[in-house]
């Protein structure tokens, strides 16, 4: 055991030397968009609670009105509450598809989808910047993985051509709709064309787009009017919905297949009824939140425009997720610390969450951010940017 201990300590020290060590910071959430972190009150620019629903009185009330706190078992034993089935019907209707299945969270949904539909006989084509849960799901599936350069359809097509000669059983393209660390959007229309041309299925993770994009917050695919051309849709309840959990939606047979094959669905306890009640309530609010979506869009656009004007590298962000790419991890940490000193929270994101050499601050806007707060934050970022040599 002593060797274990020394080995672990050694590796942690190496991470710290490279400014890559991670520590948990005690954080409490007050009235949006403020949080208290290690005793300091900060304007929160790191939250995925984009519409501010996490603290909504109707969601809290829905949880409080639920008698049972926990679930008795997995769904396939005695954990299949009528309320969960009702939620799945509502989700399918909202997503304008045949069927939906609730998962414990987005990570498990992605693991479940990829490892159920694919195995060693199959090929999967994945954007280089897809979320870690997609990467892990691919690994678990054992399928041959073709990673295409971020958003690069020529590269993807070359890989599809290459794979076409190899006689794979099934082929699947998988992409985030909105990329979680870059805030840009996937070229879904082009992906649909390629998947048709190469007889491939398409799986879209709408974790950061449901609630924030599209009519009634249905997500990017609906916004583009191509939802029915995508075989598998996934979304989370942990971001704009302000609750917890996730869903996968699609045709009946695909969902039924998941019920029979997805180990991250079968071998885990059903989400508690209190959570399901809150999700049901949130689904109603999400559909009525056009005004919040509009505010979020307007505020995000202003934030992005101002930062680009000052010369910050905000990648190709076109959403409420706005990175300020710095490159160096220690510089990113120092930038974040200086913002904290100014009462602003934007957590530094470092490898391996983002590729080596692309450490950054990831700002996420909320509909609740006040215009003058946003203006002050832009001024602080700019001052610190000059001071740290991030902009010249
Ligand atoms: C694109 C994407 N997919 C999946 C997930 C995982 O979702 P959850 O937090 O519900 O596990 C996240 C969240 O971190 C994400 O950003």
Listed residues 240, 267, 287: the one ending a domain: 287
Whichever domain contains 184, its CATH number is 3.40.640.10
Residue 13 lies in a domain: no
Pair (137, 36) in one structural domain = no
Is the same domain home to 281 and 294? no
* Ligand 1 midpoint to CA 309 (Å): 31
As a 3-state breakdown, the chain gives helix, strand, coil percent values, each rounded to 5, of 45, 20, 40
Strand intervals (E) in the chain:
27-29, 34-37, 40-44, 99-103, 123-127, 144-148, 171-176, 201-205, 232-236, 246-250, 321-327, 344-345, 348-349, 359-364
Instruction: Give dist(CA 169, CA 25) in Å, integer.
Output: 46
Pair 381, 339: CB distance under 8 Å: yes
Cα–Cα dist 30/147, whole Å: 41
**pLDDT at 127 (0 to 100):** 98
Q: What is the structure's pLDDT at 68?
A: 85
Query: Ligand 1 centroid to 245 CA: how many Å?
Result: 10
Nearest atom in ligand 1 to the alpha carbon of residue 179 is 1
pLDDT value of position 34: 93
Is 123 part of a structural domain of the chain? yes
Q: How far is the CA of 55 from the centre of ligand 1 (A)?
A: 20
Closest CA to 365 of 316, 292, 313: 292
CA of 236, closest atom in ligand 1: 10
Q: Is the minimum distance from the CB of 105 to ligand 1 under 6 angstroms?
A: yes
> Using alpha carbons only, what angle is made at residue 173 by residues 130 and 349, rounded to the nearest 5 degrees?
0
Q: Choose the final residue of a domain: 287, 316, 332.
A: 287
Q: What's residue 160's pLDDT?
A: 98
Q: Of 227, 255, 287, which residue is a domain's last? A: 287
- The answer as to whether 321 is a domain residue is yes
Residues spanned by the domain of 39: 19-51+290-387
CA of 108 to the centre of ligand 1 (A): 9
26-65 pLDDT, tens digit per residue, is 999 877 799 999 999 999 999 999 999 999 999 999 999 9
Which residue has the CA at smallest separation from atom 10 of ligand 1? 106
| Overall number of domains in the chain | 2
Please compute the mean of the pLDDT values over residues 233-262 and round it to a whole number: 98
Q: Is the CB of 322 under 6 A from ligand 1?
A: no
Identify whether residues 240 and 337 lie together within a single domain: no
* Whether the predicted pLDDT of 227 surpasses 90: yes
pLDDT of amino acid 30? 72
Instruction: Tell me the backbone φ, ψ of residue 34, rounded to 5 degrees.
Output: -110, 145
- In 3D space, the residue among 68, 100, 64 whose CA is nearest the CA of residue 85 turns out to be 100
> How much is the mean pLDDT over the chain?
97
Task: List pLDDT tens digits, range 253-309.
Answer: 999 999 999 999 999 999 999 999 999 999 999 999 999 999 999 999 999 999 999
Cβ(198)–Cβ(166) below 8 Å: no
Q: Specify whether 24 is located in the same domain as 79.
A: no
Q: Is 180 in the pocket of ligand 1 (CB under 6 A)?
A: yes
Using the atom order of ligand 1, give the atom closest to the CA of residue 108: 11
Ligand 1 neighbour 236 (Cβ under 6 A): yes
What does the buried/exposed string (b/e) look like for 138-155 if buried means 16 or more CB atoms within 10 Å of the residue's CB?
Answer: bebbebbbbbbebbeeeb
Ligand 1 lined by 106 (C-beta under 6 Å): yes
Q: Over pLDDT 70: what percentage of the chain? A: 100
The ligand 1 atom at the shortest distance from the C-alpha of residue 107 is 11
In a domain, residue 357? The reply is: yes
According to DSSP, residue 128 is labeled T
Query: CATH code at 360?
Result: 3.90.1150.10
Percent of the chain with pLDDT over 90: 97
The residues carrying an active-site annotation are 180, 208, 239
Average pLDDT over residues 154-165: 97
Tell whether omega for the bond before 352 is within 30 degrees of 0, i.e. cis: yes
Question: Does the beta carbon of 182 lie inside 6 Å of ligand 1?
Answer: no
- 160-207 residue pLDDT tens: 999 999 999 999 999 999 999 999 999 999 999 999 999 999 999 999
Same structural domain, 108 and 208:
yes
pLDDT at 213 exceeding the cut of 90? yes
Ligand 1 in contact with 81 (CB < 6 A)?
no
CB 227, CB 218: distance < 8 Å: yes
How confident is the model over 84-95, as pLDDT tens digits?
999 999 999 999
């Amino acid at each position: 055991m002593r060797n274990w201990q020394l080995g672990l300590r050694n590796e942690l020290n190496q991470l710290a030397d490279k400014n890559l060590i991670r520590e948990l910071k005690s954080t409490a959430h007050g009235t949006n968009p403020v949080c208290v972190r290690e005793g300091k009150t900060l304007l929160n620019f790191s939250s995925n609670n984009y519409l501010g629903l996490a603290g909504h009185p109707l969601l809290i009330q829905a949880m409080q009105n639920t008698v049972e706190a926990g679930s008795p078992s997995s769904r396939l034993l005695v954990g299949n509450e009528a309320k969960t089935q009702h939620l799945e019907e509502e989700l399918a209707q909202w997503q304008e598809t045949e069927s939906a299945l609730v998962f414990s969270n987005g990570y498990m949904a992605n693991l479940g989808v990829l490892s159920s539909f694919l195995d060693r006989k199959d090929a999967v084509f994945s954007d280089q910047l897809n979320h870690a849960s997609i990467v892990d799901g691919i690994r678990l599936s054992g399928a041959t993985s073709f990673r295409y350069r971020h958003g690069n359809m020529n590269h993807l097509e070359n890989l599809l051509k290459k794979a076409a000669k190899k006689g794979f059983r099934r082929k699947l393209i998988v992409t985030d709709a909105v990329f979680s660390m870059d805030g840009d959007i996937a070229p879904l229309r082009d992906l649909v064309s390629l998947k048709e041309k190469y007889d491939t299925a398409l799986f879209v993770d709408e974790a950061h787009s449901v609630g924030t994009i599209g009519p009634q917050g249905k997500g990017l695919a609906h916004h583009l009017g191509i939802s029915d051309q995508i075989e598998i849709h996934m979304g989370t309840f942990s971001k704009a919905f302000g609750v917890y959990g996730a869903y996968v939606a699609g045709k009946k047979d695909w969902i039924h297949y998941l019920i029979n094959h997805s180990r991250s669905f079968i071998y885990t306890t059903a989400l508690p009824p209190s959570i399901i009640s809150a999700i049901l309530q949130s689904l109603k609010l999400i559909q009525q939140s056009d005004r919040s979506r509009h505010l979020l869009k307007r505020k995000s656009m202003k934030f992005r425009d101002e930062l680009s004007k000052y010369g910050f590298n905000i990648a190709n962000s076109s959403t409420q997720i706005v990175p300020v790419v710095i490159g160096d991890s220690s510089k990113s940490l120092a930038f974040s610390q200086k913002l904290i000193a100014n009462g602003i929270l934007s957590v530094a994101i470092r490898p391996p969450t983002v590729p080596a050499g692309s450490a950054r601050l990831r700002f996420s806007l909320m509909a609740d951010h006040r215009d003058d707060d946003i203006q002050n934050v832009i001024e602080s970022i700019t001052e610190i940017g000059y001071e740290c040599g991030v902009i010249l």
